[in-house]
Amino acid sequence: MSHNAESTAFRSALEVIRAVEPRVADAIGAELTDQRESLKLIASENYASPATLLAMGNWFSDKYAEGTVGRRFYAGCQNVDTVEALAAEHARELFGAPHAYVQPHSGIDANLVAFWAVLADRVESPALKKAQVRQVNDLTEADWFALRRELGNQRMLGMSLDAGGHLTHGFRPNISGKMFDQRSYGTDPATGLIDYDRVAEAAREFKPLILVGGYSAYPRKVNFRILREIADSVGATFMVDMAHFAGLVAGKVFTGDFDPVPHAHIVTTTTHKSLRGPRGGMVLCQPELADQVDRGCPMVLGGPLPHVMAAKAVALAEARRPDFADYAQRIVDNAQALAEGLLRRGAKLVTGGTDNHLVLIDVSGYGLTGRQAEQALLDSGIVTNRNSVPQDPNGAWYTSGIRIGTPALTTRGLGTAEMDQTAELIHTVLTQTTAGANADGTPSKAKYTLDADLADKIARQATDLLAPHPLYPAIDLA
């Protein structure tokens, strides 16, 4: 696609939208401007390619397609079958997975599909066996009662939220915490690293149905071979949520013991973040779970989104190109350079550095909460998100940490030299921000003070840093 074609495509789309609701067209244009001018360091965000974005805006959006390829509950799905089959094929080849299910709408949906697939596969009861071979409407009240008793209160063991785990790994605010009797494994208080001996001890004591590996804020590699051995030792199904680092697996930065696909029974992921695709989810699994996984719709999913599956097929095709491996390696190189730059300036980092795409700053060393630091950085043109640190005294809302990541800036072409400059900007903002007080004089966890002129100066410096690396340079909406 030529530069001229990309500009024409997006400008024409905005003109059509503007004719109906100009405020939406204005917001879309403003979002592009904001993303072009902001130093995006949110670890879970990236920039999808124009081809991926365009694949979502088409007639596939109008199509219902419950079921799977070749087995739909709606007629006229032959073209949906084509894009879904392509997306699944690319996913299997990219990750070396026996089976891929590309219908989940999000990472949470992918995890729900995985949980229920494991439950349906592992829990032995007469009612469940009937459910597998009979229509739901044929089950009696006694069947449903027995089924609820069998499926309820199963056990899950996953990484604790403050150690870097995710809400969907069994925590009460999420449906997973209501489905499962959950227990967490943490990290070594001294190092911040996973202690596999303690995980094994917890598994032996708790005897979970599912052992969950994966994270959203753990800045190191995970040894999935060891976790699989632990799962096998207690008869647990080993599930890995690789939503954050799927791009590093796809790009062969994480291989061997650090690639979850050969070791896990079932793997879930998002298709955005480091994978650089559309917002969506995906499940990879071993053959014995394939039938249950493919029942994701209507088990827990609504109708598949064919336009997003088309975009997944495009993004996964892009990830199979040789240059994606180079991109994935540069993500890690940039994260490590950013961590080193922060450490040289005196920042306190959880685990003392990173092996992956993210860095977790403990901002208590600056006398701030995560919420104060997040907003001060945003005032200065640096987009991050607050995040808990291990044994966080400020809880999950105010937090004591800032999570930053390099996938988006790496997509723009920034390198290790720019990461050191980014570390300087972050450090400057945090050292010049002071915690505020409430009206009664007590310390505030939200209020802060930062000189407005300094914030404007940092924002200009951030824009200058980005200038040689324009976002979507082929797209001109003017």
The catalytic residue positions are 64, 66, 241, 270, 273, 279
DSSP class of residue 347 equals -
Instruction: Identify the three-state secondary structure at position 447.
Output: strand
Beta partners for residue 154, in sequence order: 180
Nearest one of 39, 354, 55 to 221, comparing CA atoms: 354
266-270 and 281-285 beta bridge pairing: antiparallel
Give DSSP secondary structure letters for 159-223: E-TTTT--GGGT-TTSHHHHHEEEEEE-B-TTT-SB-HHHHHHHHHHH--SEEEEE-SS--S---
Distance, CA of 30 to CA of 147 (rounded, Å): 51
Dihedral, CA of residue 382, residue 386, residue 387 and residue 393, to nearest 10: 140
Q: Is the Cα dihedral 43, 49, 54, 55 positive or negative?
A: negative
For residue 359, give both structure tokens.
């860095």
Angle, CA of 227, 312 and 249, to the nearest 5°? 30
Instruction: Identify the three-state secondary structure at position 441.
Output: coil
Q: How far is the CA of 185 from the CAs of 89, 159, 163, 188, 312, in angstroms?
A: 35, 5, 8, 10, 33
Residue that is written with structure tokens 């904001």 in the block: 34
Distance, CA of 297 to CA of 231 (rounded, Å): 28
385-387 and 443-449 beta bridge pairing: unpaired
Distance, CA of 462 to CA of 382 (rounded, Å): 7
